[in-house]
């Protein structure tokens, strides 16, 4: 047991692999928002906005990798963990500036962008934060501070940047502002806040776990001969209050997400367990989660459910915490035939589906025939022009256009073809008459208007 205990301690020991002083200097440098970081942030904003606008996952990932937005968040967490008020203030100031610039730039981009997607899935995916986003941000942030503290750097920070995804939800907020859609603004902003909070919290916990030097009151923290922070200690009480205020909404959201997830799982389980009940079966269900009152709608086909079968569903639902008032059973699709078997019910559904497919196929064939008709009516401009050039060497260009002439008196529309022939020298009347007759026969059109123009 002693050997196993020593082995475990050696396995999880990271003291020999980290450099706290170098990591602290690097984190403080990344907090600053000036110089290259300004240009990098601008590039990341445009890349992320374009990626979301065109539903391109690789482009969005690229924006995550190059964004410097992670720097102030990690700096804020380290400042809290080391009680460095100067670092906390610097990180918060730069973070707010970065966020404001990102929101302004992304909002302006989406206002000016001419592209409007019918199903902006990548944008909408950033409007529904879940409990998994909390876990990703928490463990991603912890992995980030451990990687930053390590002597030999790897590719962990790139993975953390992709997993925690700070820039996409922030640009989605800009999209919401451009459309005045407060549902998108609220959802995306909350996802961004969750990511920031838990990355900072993980950095704070990581700084405590890794033993970063705590700044004492009135002390100037010096690393490598340079003053990098300190001057005034952050109040422990204020720190705890701030953390509680920040974390509480996330906890409420996480609890609500867990409840919603559990409700959907239970709803699916209830529908699956009672899929077939004699000559009745549940062909569809809808779970509607709400804090005020969730409901499960069951759509039944076949014969109507007896009270006994309904009670079985209610009893099974109560095992999962659902009351009978939350179960809504729709009998609209039921049949009163007693001799109707389950196979006949399924067969009827398949037959209806086949009917819909046949109808759609017929419409496709009809549309293809109409399209072929339009194509046949098109004037073969290329072929006709080549033939005219061969017959009349002086012709330099040909323009053919088909339209309709409407008589003002009768209102009758008469189809005609207008041919504009540009030649090096004027064509005589005989040549124009022959050309007009030839075009009439070639295009199977009676009304040909022929105009001869001279080339410049």
Look at residue 223 and tell me whether its pLDDT is greater than 50: no
Mean local confidence (pLDDT), 399-413:
77
- For residue 245, give both structure tokens: 């205020």
226 — pLDDT class (breaks 50, 70, 90):
very low
Asked, for residue 250, whether it belongs to a domain, the answer is no
Mean local confidence (pLDDT), 268-283:
78
Look at residue 216 and tell me whether its pLDDT is greater than 70: no
Q: Is 325 in the same domain as 360?
A: no
Asked, for residue 409, whether it belongs to a domain, the answer is yes
Asked, for residue 242, whether it belongs to a domain, the answer is no
Asked, for residue 3, whether it belongs to a domain, the answer is no
Q: Which distant-in-sequence residues (6+ apart) come within 8 Å of 405 by Cβ?
A: 413, 414, 415, 416, 447
Its sign, for the CA torsion 199, 205, 211, 214, is: positive
Q: Is 358 in the same domain as 426?
A: no
Q: Is 209 in the same domain as 196?
A: yes
pLDDT digits 0-9 by tens, 287-296: 888 777 788 8
Look at residue 419 and tell me whether its pLDDT is greater than 80: yes
242 — pLDDT class (breaks 50, 70, 90):
low
Q: Is 111 in the same domain as 217?
A: yes
Q: Is 122 in the same domain as 177?
A: yes
Supply the range of the domain harboring residue 97: 11-234
Q: Is 397 in the same domain as 365?
A: no
CATH number, domain containing residue 423: 3.30.300.30
CATH number, domain containing residue 272: 3.30.300
Mean pLDDT of the chain: 77
Q: Is 174 in the same domain as 229?
A: yes
pLDDT digits 0-9 by tens, 308-366: 888 888 888 888 888 888 888 887 654 444 444 555 555 556 655 666 787 788 888 88
Domain limit, last residue, from 299, 334, 369? 334
Domain limit, last residue, from 304, 334, 364? 334
Asked, for residue 240, whether it belongs to a domain, the answer is no
Q: Which distant-in-sequence residues (6+ apart) come within 8 Å of 26 by Cβ?
A: 148
376 — pLDDT class (breaks 50, 70, 90):
low
Largest CA distance in the chain: 115
Q: Is 306 in the same domain as 170?
A: no
163/297 Cα distance (integer angstroms):
36
Mean local confidence (pLDDT), 433-442:
86
Q: Is 24 in the same domain as 153?
A: yes
User: CB–CB of 309/339 below 8 Å?
Assistant: no
Q: Is 325 in the same domain as 353?
A: no
Which segment of 167-171, 250-254, 381-385, 389-393 scores lowest on mean pLDDT? 250-254
Instruction: Specify the pTM.
Output: 0.55
Mean local confidence (pLDDT), 184-202:
84
Its sign, for the CA torsion 90, 95, 98, 100, is: negative
Look at residue 9 and tell me whether its pLDDT is greater than 60: yes
Tell which residue, 19, 121, 138, 157, has the closest CA to residue 77. Answer: 138
Look at residue 44 and tell me whether its pLDDT is greater than 70: yes
247 — pLDDT class (breaks 50, 70, 90):
low
pLDDT computed for residue 224 by the predictor: 40
Q: Is 70 in the same domain as 117?
A: yes
Specify the number of domains making up the chain. Answer: 4
Q: Which residues pair with 189 in a beta bridge?
A: none
Phi, psi for 54 (deg, rounded to 5): -105, 10
Q: Is 142 in the same domain as 78?
A: yes
């Amino acid at each position: 047991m002693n050997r196993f205990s020593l082995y475990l301690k050696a396995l999880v020991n990271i003291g020999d692999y980290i450099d706290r002083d170098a990591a602290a200097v690097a984190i403080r440098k990344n907090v600053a928002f000036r110089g290259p970081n300004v240009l990098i942030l601008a590039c990341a904003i445009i890349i992320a906005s374009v990626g979301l606008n065109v539903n391109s996952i690789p482009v969005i990932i690229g924006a995550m990798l190059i964004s410097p937005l992670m720097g102030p968040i990690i700096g804020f967490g380290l400042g809290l963990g080391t009680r460095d008020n100067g670092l906390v203030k610097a990180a918060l100031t730069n973070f707010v500036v970065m966020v404001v610039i990102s929101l302004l730039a992304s909002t302006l981009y989406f206002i000016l962008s001419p592209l409007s997607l019918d199903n902006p899935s990548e944008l909408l995916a950033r409007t529904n934060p879940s409990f998994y986003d909390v876990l990703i941000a928490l463990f991603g942030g912890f992995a980030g501070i451990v990687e930053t503290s390590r002597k030999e750097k790897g590719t962990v920070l790139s993975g953390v940047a992709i997993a925690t995804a700070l820039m996409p939800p922030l640009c989605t907020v800009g999209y919401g502002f451009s459309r005045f859609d407060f549902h998108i603004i609220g959802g995306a902003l909350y996802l961004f806040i969750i990511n920031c909070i838990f990355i900072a919290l993980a950095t704070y916990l990581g700084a405590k776990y890794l033993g970063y030097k705590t700044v004492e009151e009135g002390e100037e923290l010096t690393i490598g001969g340079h003053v990098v922070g300190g001057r005034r200690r952050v109040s422990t009480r204020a720190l705890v209050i701030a953390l509680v205020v920040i974390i509480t909404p996330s906890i409420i959201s996480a609890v609500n997400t867990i409840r919603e997830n559990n409700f959907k799982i239970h709803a699916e389980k209830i529908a699956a367990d009672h899929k077939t009940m004699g000559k009745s079966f549940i062909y569809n269900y809808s779970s509607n989660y709400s804090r005020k009152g969730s409901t499960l709608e069951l759509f039944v086909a076949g014969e109507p459910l007896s009270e006994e079968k309904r009670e079985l569903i209610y009893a099974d639902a109560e095992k999962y915490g659902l009351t009978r008032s939350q179960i809504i059973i729709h009998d609209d699709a039921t049949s009163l035939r007693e001799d109707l078997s389950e196979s006949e019910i399924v067969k009827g559904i398949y037959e209806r589906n086949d009917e819909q497919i046949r109808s759609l196929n017929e419409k496709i064939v009809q549309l293809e025939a109409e399209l072929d008709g339009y194509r046949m009516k098109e004037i073969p401009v290329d072929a006709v022009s080549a033939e005219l050039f061969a017959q009349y060497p002086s012709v330099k260009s040909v323009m053919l256009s088909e339209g309709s002439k409407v008589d003002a008196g009768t209102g009758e529309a008469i189809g005609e073809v207008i041919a504009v022939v540009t030649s090096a020298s004027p064509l005589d009347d005989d040549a124009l008459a022959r050309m007009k007759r030839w075009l009439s026969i070639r295009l199977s059109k009676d009304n040909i208007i022929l105009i001869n123009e001279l080339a410049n």
